[in-house]
């Protein structure tokens, strides 16, 4: 039987994938379905197709519907009310860090070693450095040739890591590769060839990356969790706006958005625990 609650979970993941710096896999962890997501994607390549579809079809419906319905709204909010929106997402990301920390210790019953802290700091710095990616080369690609579609395909492949690695945003990967606005415009205008090129890359990338992540989670649990904590913490540097609110009202709204995101994440984290 399909779990139709996954439609709403997929919708939450789909909305976050429209925002550079916010990872859908972070939201999957927040909702308590991260490991089930990895399992279902891996099932597609191990013969358990029906079990995978029971989980992935409602999730996919939610993600696709959310992207189609909210892409223009998210574009508007990020453009007109960027600061409260980003503070909201920052609160969500901040609130999931205690959950990740508890999960790492619960899985192994051991404390982090010095090597794990090195991995954590390295992952933090790696993601934080993406904050210096400029807006150059962000024009919408037009009159596309075959090499352009190949590039979009591999961009989708790289961005698919966002669905399996918390802290890495698919939209941020697109931004780094210079195809973010092309991807968003294709969704807004239903540019089918571009959507297919990127979508095929995402699907193929998911099938490969999910198995690698599951392997590392099982074999090197604490090292993998330390990387995840670093990636998620580093994404805060990317998410928090560089320009702070100018008026008291906007400060108040932004602070309320931050607290709402934080409390929501902490609540879900306790429920998952």
pLDDT per position as a tens digit, 60-99: 899 888 888 887 887 788 778 878 888 888 887 788 788 7
Provide the pLDDT for residue 1. 64
Helix axes 180-189, 192-219, angle to 10 degrees: 120
Residues 6+ apart with CB under 8 A from 119: 223, 226, 227, 230
Query: What letter would DSSP give residue 113?
Result: P
State which residues of the chain have pLDDT below 70: 1-2, 20-22, 107-108, 130-139, 162-163, 167-169, 172, 176, 268-273
Write the pLDDT tens digit of every residue in 162-202.
Answer: 667 776 667 767 776 778 778 878 877 888 888 899 989 98
CA atoms of 6 and 42, how far apart (whole Å): 18
**Per-domain boundaries in the chain:** 5-272
84 touches 254 (CB < 8 A): yes
Enter the pTM of the model.
0.68
């Amino acid at each position: 039987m399909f779990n139709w609650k996954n439609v709403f979970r997929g919708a939450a993941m789909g909305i976050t994938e429209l925002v550079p710096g916010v990872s859908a896999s972070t939201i999957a962890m927040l909702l308590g379905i991260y490991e089930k997501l990895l399992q279902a994607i891996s099932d597609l390549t191990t013969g358990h197709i029906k079990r995978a579809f029971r989980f992935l079809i409602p999730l996919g419906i939610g993600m696709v519907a959310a992207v189609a319905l909210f892409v223009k709204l998210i574009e508007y909010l990020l453009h007109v009310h960027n600061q409260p929106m980003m503070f909201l997402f920052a609160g969500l990301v901040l609130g999931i860090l205690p959950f990740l920390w508890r999960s790492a210790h619960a899985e192994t019953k051991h404390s982090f070693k010095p090597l794990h802290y090195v991995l954590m700091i390295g992952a933090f710095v790696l993601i934080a450095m993406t904050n210096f990616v400029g807006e150059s080369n962000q024009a919408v690609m037009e009159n596309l040739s075959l090499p352009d579609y190949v590039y979009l395909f591999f961009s989708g492949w790289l961005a698919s890591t966002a669905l399996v690695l918390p802290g890495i945003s698919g939209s941020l990967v697109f931004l780094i590769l210079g195809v973010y606005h092309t991807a968003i415009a294709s969704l807004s205008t239903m540019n089918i060839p571009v959507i297919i090129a990127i979508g095929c890359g995402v699907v193929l990338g998911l099938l490969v990356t999910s198995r690698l992540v599951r392997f590392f989670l099982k074999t090197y649990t604490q090292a993998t969790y330390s990387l995840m904590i670093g990636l998620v913490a580093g994404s805060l540097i990317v998410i928090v706006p560089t320009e702070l609110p100018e008026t008291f009202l906007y400060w108040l709204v932004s602070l309320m958005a931050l607290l709402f995101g934080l409390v929501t994440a902490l609540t879900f984290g306790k429920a998952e625990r």
